[in-house]
Structure 1
Amino acid sequence: MSNFSKKDLDIFTNKILEDYDNKNPSSIFKDKIKITNEDALIIQSNVARLRVKRGDQIIGYKIGCVSKDTQKKMGFTQPAYGYLWKSELYASGVRLVKKDYTNPAMEAEFGIILNRDIKLELASFDYIIQSIEGIYPLIEIHNLVFHGNEPYGAELLANNAIHAGVVIGPETKLSIEKIETDLKLIYDNEIIDTWNNKVWPVDMLSELNWLVNEQAKNNNYLKKGDLILTGAYGFPVPINDKKLIEVTSSAFGDVKASFY
């Protein structure tokens, strides 16, 4: 049950958006406010509504915290989600400015783009597979900042699952066959993490039906052309003084970005 009124949550919403614009995310949590995960999702949705109102465009959703270890760390019993924005979508090879982010941290993952609107009543695993246009290797950018008390789940949700952008690689057209791949996160030619024996589509799409159902609770429905980040296998890694960020997949291609 919430300890805060609608007016309180509106105040938090405006402050979180202001902080995000000023590249000073999450300052309200410096006061150690304690909001519920439900409050945090209301704030996330309210911020999204304000961004749309001022002209930004939602282009899909991210699934986060798919790892049970990450869920435990955040105090969750399920994954998290956030919105993706047209203004924060970049093509492979982009040069970005490090000071535009706060403790920029990266994840390696895969994304999909939908070839049709998803009908909730039909959303079986097979139906979802047939609704995919293509698969992409991705770099997900985060502002890795937490000012509140652990677990940080509500703070993460209120800040759009700390999402700050996507760098998208080349498309691989949908394959309904099982494909095994690795996935590597590389900073300045040094391998930071590797995940082996990931099998398409089972490992990549394990939480997509969950996302469909969660969004439906808010009368949001996944649409043709939506980009969906299917979830990283690890926790975001700060880039610190590194500049060249690469994600490689033996089956689905490579993507890179530079931070200066």
Structure 2
Amino acid sequence: MDAATIDKHGDALYSAWRERRVLAPLLEREPGITTEEAYAIQQRFVARRLEAGEAIIGKKIGVTSKPVQEFLGVYEPDFGQLTSGMVRTQADGVDLDALIQPKAEAELAFVLERDLVGPGITAIDVIRATAYVSPCFEVVDSRIRDWKIKIQDTVADNASCGVFILGDAKASPRKLDLALAGMVLRRNGELHATSAGAAVQGSPVNAVAWLANTLGRLGLPFRAGEVILSGSQSPLVPVADGDELNCTIGGLGTCRVRFHGRSAA
């Protein structure tokens, strides 16, 4: 795929994001597209957001569970880039008017206190470089029609990044067993799902180490202060006006988010 075609698809995703509309799956338009080409399209999409005034503030890891990997036909995670325009707060909640076809997932966020440069990063290195972890919600949002995605689609679409919310609770990863820490997700006060950190690559720490090494091979370091969303520990939850989600991670605390407005789809 030549540079002009990559730019065309990246620009189309950017326009779809700005205009809150969906596109046909990339594999329908480019049947031979590779994952590497999809990442190049992602870079173009993100570059357009940066040109409009946003800044990179972290990364996210996706496709960490085996069922999702099997569905997409890929057997390692993917990643996307978090920008300043994606940040939401518990106090303000999430305005669905800005989204297309959102779904929420609960996970653990890492905030770095020093740079983490791969390859060669181990789980111990991740723990040492982390200032704190927090429970969080990521609200994923696909620009691909009806979520008809394969790995090339979600990679190009910046790993289906929407917005994210960090909980106020903070803890050192040195004081928690992140693989065994249980997570309880409630939707509108009712139990929706339970899991443990081991659902994410055996431990969320392993997922962050994988991404640090993957980015390191591409010449991209993690910087101090960056936020890393380590991968969903819950099923995807469709959300609508008035919904409230609560995610509690044992030994850490709770993240709450309320949704208002109406998404495009």
Q: TM-score, normalized by length of structure 2?
A: 0.87
TM-aligned CA distance change 1:72 to 1:201, over 3 Å? closer
SS of corresponding position for 1:225: coil
Deviates more, 1:210-219 or 1:193-202: 193-202
Structure 1 pair 200–219 and aligned structure 2 pair: CA distance change class (3 A): closer
Is residue 135 of structure 2 the alignment partner of residue 176 of structure 1? Answer: no
Q: 1:252 is matched by which residue type in structure 2?
A: L
Change (3 A) 1:199 1:129: farther
Deviation by residue 1:221-253 (Cα, 9 ceiling, x = unmatched) = 101001001111344221245521221222111
Match of 2:227 in 1: 227
- Report the equivalent of 1:11: 8
Aligned AA (1:8): T
SS at the partner of 2:203? coil
Counterpart AA for 1:20: W
Task: Please provide the CA RMSD for this pair.
Answer: 2.5
Contact conserved, 2:188 with 2:243, CA < 8 A, in 1?
yes
Retained in 1: the 8 A contact 2:46–2:81?
A: yes
2:17 aligned with 1:20: yes
- Partners of 1:76 and 1:92 lie apart in 2 by 34
What is the distance in 2 between the residues matched to 1:149 and 1:257?
Answer: 23
More displaced stretch, 244-253 vs 103-112:
244-253
Residue 123 of structure 2 corresponds to 125
Q: What's the CA shift for 1:138?
A: 0.4
Using the size of structure 1 for normalisation, the TM-score is 0.89
Using the TM superposition, give the Cα deviation of residue 146 of structure 1 relative to its aligned residue in structure 2, in angstroms. Answer: 3.9
Q: How many residues align?
A: 256
Change (3 A) 1:31 1:121: closer
Q: State the 1:115 CA deviation.
A: 0.7
Q: In structure 2, the residue corresponding to 1:172 is in which secondary structure?
A: coil
Relative to its length, the structure with more strand (as a share) is 1
Which whole-Å CA distance do the structure 1 matches of 2:144 and 2:234 have between them?
17
Matched, 1:29 2:28: no
Deviation at 1:96, TM superposition (A): 2.3
**Measured at CA, do residues 148 and 219 of structure 1 come closer, stay the same or move farther in structure 2, by a change above 3 Å?**
farther
Structure 1 Cα separation of the partners of residues 199 and 186 of structure 2: 21
Partner of 1:111: 109
Stretch of structure 1 that moved more, 187-196 or 223-232 = 187-196
Matched-pair contact (CA < 8 Å) for 1:204–1:230: yes
In 1, Cα distance between the equivalents of 2:69 and 2:173? 30
1:137–1:169 CA contact under 8 A, matched in 2: yes
Moved more, 108-117 or 171-180: 171-180
Deviations 1:44-78 (A, max 9, x none): 11112222222101110001111111111112120
Deviates more, 1:58-67 or 1:27-36: 27-36
Deviates more, 1:55-64 or 1:88-97: 88-97
The residue type equivalent to 2:257 in the other structure is A
2-structure distance, mates of 1:204, 1:214: 15
Q: Greater shift after overlay, 74-83 or 85-94? A: 85-94
C-alpha displacement at 1:176, in angstroms? 1.6
CA distance in 2, matches of 1:49, 1:230: 23
The answer for the alignment partner of 1:193 in structure 2 is 193
106-115 or 152-161, which deviates more: 152-161
User: Which residue pairs with 2:263 in the alignment?
Assistant: none
Matched, 1:255 2:251: no
